[in-house]
Amino acid sequence: MTTPKAGKPVSIDDVATAAGVSTATVSRILNAPKLVAPATATRVMRVIKRLGYRPNRFAQGLMTRRSRVLGIVLPDMHGEFYSELLRGANARARRSSYHLLVTADGAADHGPDPIATAPFGLIDGLALMLTEPNEHLWKEARQSGLPMVVLDADLDAEGVDSVLIDNTSGAGEAIAHLLSSVPASRCYFVGGPRDNFDTGQRAATFTRALRGARHRPRPDQTAYGTYSPQWGRTWGAGMLERAGTGVIGVMAADDEIALGVLDALLAAGRSVPDDARIVGFNDSRLASLLRPALSSVRVPLAEVGAAAVEALINRIQHPESPVVRKTMPTQLMVRESSRGERPGPPDAPPRGIRRRSGSGSS
Amino acid sequence: MTTPKAGKPVSIDDVATAAGVSTATVSRILNAPKLVAPATATRVMRVIKRLGYRPNRFAQGLMTRRSRVLGIVLPDMHGEFYSELLRGANARARRSSYHLLVTADGAADHGPDPIATAPFGLIDGLALMLTEPNEHLWKEARQSGLPMVVLDADLDAEGVDSVLIDNTSGAGEAIAHLLSSVPASRCYFVGGPRDNFDTGQRAATFTRALRGARHRPRPDQTAYGTYSPQWGRTWGAGMLERAGTGVIGVMAADDEIALGVLDALLAAGRSVPDDARIVGFNDSRLASLLRPALSSVRVPLAEVGAAAVEALINRIQHPESPVVRKTMPTQLMVRESSRGERPGPPDAPPRGIRRRSGSGSS
DNA sequence: TCCGCCCATGAAAGCGGTTCCATTCGCGGC
DNA sequence: GCCGCGAATGGAACCGCTTTCATGGGCGGA
């Protein structure tokens, strides 16, 4: 009696039979306990435990059309950036008993089947991160008819929830900070891909600020590339050839690029921050670990992920609620790489870091 | 006619009716085309397209007991480490038309429901990463009866597939490298948590190597803490007090710790690698970006993830195949932080990096 | 004491597929 | 010319659960 039938998993029928009730009652005990007499409930629960019964999720989903799984599509999954975002998203999801089905669409994401179609049928909602235009994916997502929230892309016009990063304020702070110690004519913005959403906003803020400082931005003050140290280095090297002497200010579209620029400058014997003030973006862990420590605009990635999931869950539970767009705050973290005229703390060591300037051991 | 019934999604019945065939035929067209006459097939396919029919995954799963979704449970999702692993896993999964349901069990992972139980019913297999003993999770996983593969933990005894990191060879290389320029009595191992699987293996290799060098390891040569720069700094600071002068060798259990140690030493005015040779583990991107660049043992994280998924898929498709355990190779990457007597390349700059040793601008 | 109502429960109809089994039909071999 | 067989298709039984609707019984109000 106690031994479950070998092989086949326990079904609701097994429980019902074993407990001497109908399957309806068993189901109710699990989903709406208040509808069942306490005595029956505890009795049946015991049987459930004993048999190790687990409702079949597929059967359940077939009826309820819910799986408590959320899909999240990222442009890529490389690096801390997405890892942090995912972490926040996952934590928030778990808090509401949801799980995350993640995919890096990776641009060239096409299996034998139509793209992401497989899981579309299994998830309750979709969080979509589109840092660059992706018509195909976007269409596919819309067609799915799933509740959905968009990350880091301005699609409000389309009437869908979105979670954004407040690029304007963060970038504004950063450029203002640079302008406080560097003339506008000697400030540069080193971006990621030209059509990247964040890069676009940050660049716009940059030029706006220059204009605000009564300077008409030259074309060479804004450059586009990729989110990589390599691009930063390339830009840095080129810059060194063009720019004369005197301090310059660099606002990079992310820390990777900033790091590359920093590297190129140090390698060329420049001192940072004395010869150049550099500010990155995202405040990745890298930033504070670098020497000189990199000033950077902190973006609350984990919170972004969490907010997205939260919005999504809300949309699932209240399909008719008004479209919401949430903007996450950013904040400039000033570190060594950009300290200008301001005096350091009293015990500050001699300013400026120059690669390889040390001699041997003491 | 062409207009799909508003609201309700198209079902296989709709297709069958519209195409004038039975549902059996429609199903066959999608799952076993060879059983259907080509003419019928194309005709029905046209209808499917026109109606935008998508099989209901739940109904499908109910019959087939497959979802083409794999679960992957990580100890955490913080940092590059897991991000990289996930990336490899995801890529491999997509190649076989699988998707990934990821969870960071986070030790304290308990929603209202029993832990990871929800998704257990939806996934076809489970990749479990257990860097530290977790009886509860382990039991739960085994009970699920799911095909499964274990990452980075030696559970072969239990008869389950596993993917391991070849800690022994990597750590062996690292310590041998240190011993080539530092006396065994002045080498240290700075570990992560004591019961962490990798730390354990690496520590063992370390002491074994010391013995091999005719040195009886002192207790203070091995220390345990957490995988964090903070712990590395703490250890470094303590070490500076105890150790006298003379070069030392440090093998850290990961790059984070190594970074902390490096930081502490530089802050105290020591030169690396002149006063201390440091080697990290994992070869995170950090390692090559640090100054001095950090020597580290490269671990092919993405490949580890991919291998796990591959093994899992294989187990799903061939449940009876013999248990496999795959060991991924590691390799020491020598960089500035540990270069000993060996002469650098011809154009090498003066060796040794000492924080803040530079003066102002040139 | 009787009636109506509510509470606890059961029977059964789906949910949307897959697949076993039966049926029909065309055709080659004897 | 007939038999048998395989190819193409349809009928219908599930898969395991949720949920509506019906039923029976206990109980408070009149």
Structure tokens at A352: 């400026």
Give the separation between CA B25 and CA B304, rounded to whole angstroms. 42
Split at pLDDT 50, 70, 90, the class of B130 is: confident
Pairing of strands B125-129, A148-151: unpaired
Distance B57 CA to D15 C1' (A): 13
In angstroms, the separation between the Cα of residue A195 and the nearest Cα of chain B is 24
Closest-CA distance, A71 to chain B, in angstroms, reads 9
Identify the residue whose tokens are 């139980």: B117
- Percent of chain A at pLDDT > 90 equals 71
pLDDT tens by residue, B204-258: 999 999 999 999 999 999 999 999 999 999 999 999 888 777 899 999 999 999 9
Residues of chain B positioned with their CB less than 8 A from the CB of A57: 61, 118, 121-122
Mean pLDDT of A268-296: 92
Min mean pLDDT across A345-359, B101-115, B249-263 is at: A345-359
pLDDT tens, residue by residue, A166-207: 999 999 999 999 999 999 999 999 999 999 999 999 999 999
The pLDDT value given to residue B346: 45
Q: Give yes or no for a contact between A327 and A154, defined as CB atoms under 8 angstroms apart.
A: no
Hey, are the CB atoms on B99 and A103 less than 8 Å from each other? yes
The Å distance, CA of B50 to C1' of C7, is 50
Mean pLDDT (whole number) for B192-204: 94
DSSP-assigned beta bridge partners for residue A278: A250
- Provide the pLDDT for residue B2: 40
| pLDDT band at B284; cut points 50, 70, 90 | very high
- Note the pTM of the prediction, 2 decimals: 0.89
Query: Chain B partners of A76 at a C-beta cutoff of 8 Å?
Result: 87
Closest listed residue to residue A261, CA positions, set A189, A195, A203, A196: A189
How far is it, in rounded angstroms, from Cα A132 to Cα A352? Answer: 37
| Residues B361, A82: C-beta atoms closer than 8 Å | no
Choose the weakest-confidence range: A4-13, A287-296, B236-245.
A4-13
B97 CB within 8 Å of a chain A CB: yes
Residue A70: closest CA among A98, A37, A38: A98
Give the pLDDT confidence score for residue A117 in this predicted structure.
61
Q: What is the model's pLDDT at position A360?
A: 39
In angstroms, rounded to a whole number, what is the distance separating the alpha carbons of residues B212 and B208? 6
B120 in Cβ contact with B70 (< 8 Å): no
Q: Which of A170-179, B160-169, B338-347 shows the lowest per-residue confidence on average (mean pLDDT)?
A: B338-347
What tens digit of pLDDT does each residue of B46-72 get? Answer: 999 999 999 999 999 999 999 999 999
Residues pairing with B332 in the sheet: B297
The whole-number average pLDDT for the span B321-334 is 95
Q: Which of A101-105, A335-339, A356-360, B150-154 has the lowest mean pLDDT?
A: A356-360
Report how far residue B280's alpha carbon sits from residue B277's, in angstroms, rounded to the nearest whole number: 10
Residue A68: closest C-alpha in chain B: B118
List the B222-223 sheet strands across, edge first.
B222-223, B187-190, B248-252, B276-282, B295-298, B331-333
* Site of tokens 């930033």: A287
Is the minimum distance from the CB of A55 to strand D below 7 Å?
yes
Task: State the pLDDT at residue A104.
Answer: 86
Look at residue B115 in the predicted model and tell me its pLDDT. 36
Q: Which of residues 26-45 of B touch strand D (CB under 7 A)?
A: 28, 35-37, 39-41
The pLDDT value recorded for residue A33 is 92
User: d(Cα B268, Cα B237) in Å, to the nearest integer?
Assistant: 8
Quick check: B16 pLDDT over 50? yes
Query: Could you tell me if A314 and A162 are in contact, meaning their C-beta atoms sit under 8 angstroms apart?
Result: no
3-state secondary structure of A332: strand
Name residue, tokens 């990222």. Answer: A74
CB pairs under 8 A between A and B: 208
State how far residue A84 is from chain B, nearest Cα, in angstroms. 6
pLDDT at residue B108 tops 60: no
- Going by pLDDT thresholds of 50, 70 and 90, the confidence category of residue B78 is confident
The backbone torsions φ and ψ at residue A193, rounded to the nearest 5 degrees and listed phi first, read -60, 145
Nearest-CA neighbor of B207 among B229, B181, B184?
A: B184
Indicate yes or no: CB of B361 within 8 angstroms of CB of A352. Answer: yes
Distance CA B268, CA A79 (A): 31
Two structure tokens written together for A101: 């089905």
Q: How far is CA A254 from CA A188, A227, A268, A306, B80, in A?
A: 13, 7, 22, 21, 16
The first and second tokens of residue B270, run together, are 């020591």
**Does B166 lie at the interface with A, CB-CB under 8 angstroms?**
no
**Which range among A198-212, B23-37, B127-141 shows the weakest confidence by mean pLDDT?**
B127-141
The protein footprint on chain D, as nucleotides within 7 A of a CB, is: 7-12, 14-20
A269–chain B nearest CA distance, Å:
8
Phi, psi (degrees; rounded to nearest 5) at B91 = -60, -45
Helices (H), chain A: 12-19, 23-31, 38-51, 57-64, 79-95, 117-120, 135-144, 167-179, 197-212, 229-242, 255-267, 285-289, 301-317
- Decide: CB of A60 under 7 A of nucleic strand C: no
Asked which of A293-297, A340-344, B196-200 is least confident by mean pLDDT, the reply is A340-344
Strand C within 7 A of B55 CB: yes
User: Residue B20: left (phi > 0), alpha (psi -120 to 50), or beta?
Assistant: left
Question: Which candidate, B69, B34, B28, B65, places its Cα nearest to that of B48?
Answer: B28
| Band of residue B347 on the pLDDT scale cut at 50, 70, 90 | very low
Under the banding of pLDDT at 50, 70 and 90, the label for residue A242 is: confident
Nucleotide nearest to B62 (CA to C1'): D15
First CA to last CA distance, chain B: 81
Report which of B71, B95, B72, B96 is spatially closest to residue B83, judged by C-alpha positions.
B72
Angstrom CA distances, B318 to A211, B63, B167, stand at 66, 19, 29
Q: Does A283 touch chain B (CB under 8 A)?
A: no
Q: Give the residue-averaged pLDDT of B139-155.
A: 86
Q: Cβ–Cβ contacts within 10 Å for residue B188, how many?
A: 25
What is residue B138's predicted lDDT score, i.e. its pLDDT?
85
Cα angle A138, A143, A149 (rounded to 5 degrees) comes to: 55
Nearest Cα of chain B lies from the Cα of A245 at a distance, in angstroms, of 11
Q: In this prediction, what percent of chain B has a pLDDT beyond 90?
A: 71
Of the candidates A74, A148, A361, A183, the one whose C-alpha atom is nearest the C-alpha of residue B87 is A74
With 60 as the cut, is the pLDDT of residue B38 above it? yes
The Cα–Cα gap between A280 and A164 comes to: 19
Please tell me the predicted confidence (pLDDT) of residue A25. Answer: 96
Could you tell me if A119 lies within 8 Å of chain B, comparing CB atoms?
A: yes
Report the pLDDT value the prediction gives residue A135, as an integer from 0 to 100. 82
3-state secondary structure chain B: CCCCCCCCCCCHHHHHHHHCCCHHHHHHHHHCHHHCCHHHHHHHHHHHHHHCCCCCHHHHHHHHCCCCEEEEEECCCCHHHHHHHHHHHHHHHHHCCCEEEEEECCCCCCCCCCCCHHHHCCCCEEEEECCCCCHHHHHHHHHHCCCEEEECCCCHHHCCEEEEECHHHHHHHHHHHHHCCCCHHHEEEECCCCCCHHHHHHHHHHHHHHHHCCCCCCHHHEECCCCCHHHHHHHHHHHHHHCCCCCEEEEECCHHHHHHHHHHHHHCCCCECCCEEEEEEECCHHHHHCCCCCEEEECCHHHHHHHHHHHHHHHHHCCCCCCCEEEECCEEECCHHHCCCCCCCCCCCCCCECCCCCCCCC
By CB atoms closer than 10 A (0-12, 13-18, 19+), residue B195 is exposed
Mean pLDDT of A307-311: 98
Instruction: Please identify residues in chain A, positions 166-185, with a C-beta within 7 angstroms of any atom of strand C.
Output: none
For chain B, how big is the Rg over CA atoms in Å? Answer: 27
Q: Which residues pair with A328 in a beta bridge?
A: A165
Q: What is the pLDDT of residue B42?
A: 95
- Calculate the angstrom distance between C1' of C15 and CA of B136: 35
The neighbouring-strand residues paired with B189 are B222, B251
A7 conformational bin, left if phi > 0, alpha if psi -120 to 50, beta if neither: left
Q: Does the pLDDT value for residue B116 go beyond 80?
A: no
CA B35 to C1' D4, in angstroms, rounded, equals 21
Asked if residue A171 lies in contact with residue A205, where contact means CB atoms within 8 angstroms, the answer is yes
Four-CA torsion A284, A289, A291, A294, nearest 10 degrees: 30
Residues A285/A298, Cβ–Cβ less than 8 Å: no
Mean pLDDT of A311-320: 95
A320: Cβ–Cβ under 8 A, 6 or more apart, which residues? none
The answer to whether some atom of strand D lies closer than 7 Å to the beta carbon of A65 is: no
Band of pLDDT at residue A141, cut at 50, 70 and 90: confident
